[in-house]
Chain A
């Protein structure tokens, strides 16, 4: 599957208009220079040869060099941890907010707190990430001067690092929390209406134990799957939010590479995204089977 994905990336990148050899030769339009550039980047060879060359090196961990002669693998290794940290923080925000909100809404179904949580989640689904980003910049950075408006500090300065990442993480986490909340609410309602919950109640277990031990654990199964499926949305959120907040992460690298028509960089970036997607889906399957004994038994 990754092989197919890599071919799609390769073909897609070649379809971007504009001649990279001319772009690389800068002002120099001398045919000899352009030919030399083409030869250097194998642009004069047929596409299958270019693809074969690229994939062969990629399998050996070498993603080639970009237009500025920097190793793509190295650039990605530099940028990726920043985005992973942001992803982790966003997920923490989403889980901490979304899951309890979903449980409360389900338990208090039809009461004001349910309507409030459901309503907020619905709005949360409809807000464009980058717009929310702009608004929180206006509030917390421009008006209140509490937090920096953007940029990034390395993890070696933990406090400054967190100050830079907390706003973006909350913005991305808010959207994800809305999805989690809705999913949690509906699967909790399913669980609470099921036979085993009635049995648990009938044998006199406390409401706390019914909700937390029986219904909650079963609802987590569906929510885990949904969390995995949300990865695409999460990546989109990270890409736009990194651009809005000027965070030099993997997302802004993706946009930069596309804007600059940097073939090797785009290929490397998208390949990493596709690989990450496959790995996360695998992890979701593993977690799923850990949470759901019925699947483990098979």
Chain B
């Protein structure tokens, strides 16, 4: 038995390596996607090493420099409380990346098994799950997130939970759709003939075949969550001072629209750059991983 398994496995490993190399080559041929990846990695590095990179610690206030323009001491100037803008932007990157990635992971971990159950077993399980998903999808993502954030109370963790829960219905729908299609593939009856049980089929055969779709969907959900965090924090339902995020920065900059417009401009540009990078990366990954949509 083990010999047979080895014989089967050996070419499979070589295959998957070759496939990765082909995909890597295809990816590298897309300059936009590569640029997106570089920027995303840049933001991730900034987020991880924020305390080392930021010139001033969180909550540091310089009362001698309130609303000053950029100088050698404060590269991007300071806000109305004497916070260094650059430091806030760097710590804001940390909050945004954290919310984007964790909310998406949370949504996937909850939604994918549920969607796969619905798609695999169909029948009443599917009916109940699909109906509930429809109900949740009837609430716009933002209203759902605002409501959840109001229930949970404002904090970074709760924003992550709210946005993660808000992203669940979309992921359920995708996992369900993919499973519905994949369970009709020829290798499913073949696995059944081999004596595979449901769990084996779902996790060994169907799940690996939908990873591409899930990766693409995740890359496109993260920017949604980053935008969502910005909106919630802007509305006062998100990160609370002295902690900072790009949305909080915009929210505190709003009263100074006439005096210090740069306070609104920098965090906005940071959000655009991060979201744009994820969107471009997601588009590129979709082109590479899913030949059906390649144009």
Partners in one complex: yes
Binding site for B on A (CB under 8 A): 1, 4-5, 8, 12, 15-17, 122-123, 125-131, 134-135, 137-138, 142, 186, 189, 231-233, 235-236, 239-240, 243, 254-255, 258-259, 261, 266, 270, 273-274, 277-278
Closest 7 CB pairs of A and B: A236-B142, A232-B140, A131-B268, A126-B276, A126-B275, A235-B140, A4-B135
Q: Which residues of B contact A255 (CB under 8 A)?
A: 146, 235
Find out whether the CB atom of A123 lies under 8 angstroms from the CB atom of B272. Answer: yes
Interface status of B73 (Cβ within 8 A of chain A): no
Chain A nearest CB, measured from B128 CB (Å):
11
Q: How far is the CA of A273 from the CA of B146 in the complex (A)?
A: 14
In the bound complex, how far is the Cα of B274 from the Cα of A125, in angstroms?
12
The answer to whether B189 has its CB under 8 Å from any CB of chain A is no
Beta-carbon contact of B140 and A16 below 8 Å = no
What would be 22 A-B contacts, judged by CB atoms less than 8 Å apart?
A: A1-B131, A1-B135, A4-B132, A5-B139, A12-B151, A15-B151, A17-B151, A123-B276, A130-B234, A138-B264, A142-B257, A189-B295, A232-B140, A232-B142, A233-B141, A235-B142, A236-B142, A236-B143, A236-B231, A254-B146, A255-B235, A274-B139
Return chain A residues, CB-CB under 8 Å to B211.
none
From B146, B151, B280, give the contact of A122 (CB < 8 A). B280
CB <8 Å contact, B140 and A126 = no
Which residues of the partner chain A approach B272 to less than 8 Å between Cβ atoms? 123, 126-128, 131
| Main secondary structure on B side of the interface with A | helix
Complex Cα–Cα for A233 and B145 (A)? 13
Q: How far is the CB of A3 from chain B (nearest CB, A)?
A: 9
| A5 neighbours in B (Cβ, 8 Å) | 135, 138-139
| Bound CA–CA A97/B193 (angstroms) | 55
**Given A16, A130, A233, which contacts B151 in the complex, CB threshold below 8 Å?**
A16
- Count residues of B near A (Cβ-Cβ below 8 Å): 41
B175 interface residue per 8 A CB criterion: no
| Cβ-neighbour of B231 out of A128, A270, A273 (below 8 A) | A128
A184 to chain B, nearest CB (A): 14
- State in angstroms the CA–CA spacing of A125 and B223 once bound together: 10
Residues in chain A near residue B142, CB distance under 8 A: 232, 235-236, 239-240
Given contacts A131-B271, A236-B143, contact A138 B257 (CB under 8 A): yes
Are B231 and A130 touching (Cβ within 8 A)? yes
Residue with the greatest number of chain B CB neighbours at <10 A, chosen from A135, A236, A261: A236
Whole-angstrom CA separation of A15 from B223 in the bound complex: 28
A275's closest neighbor in chain B, by CB? B138
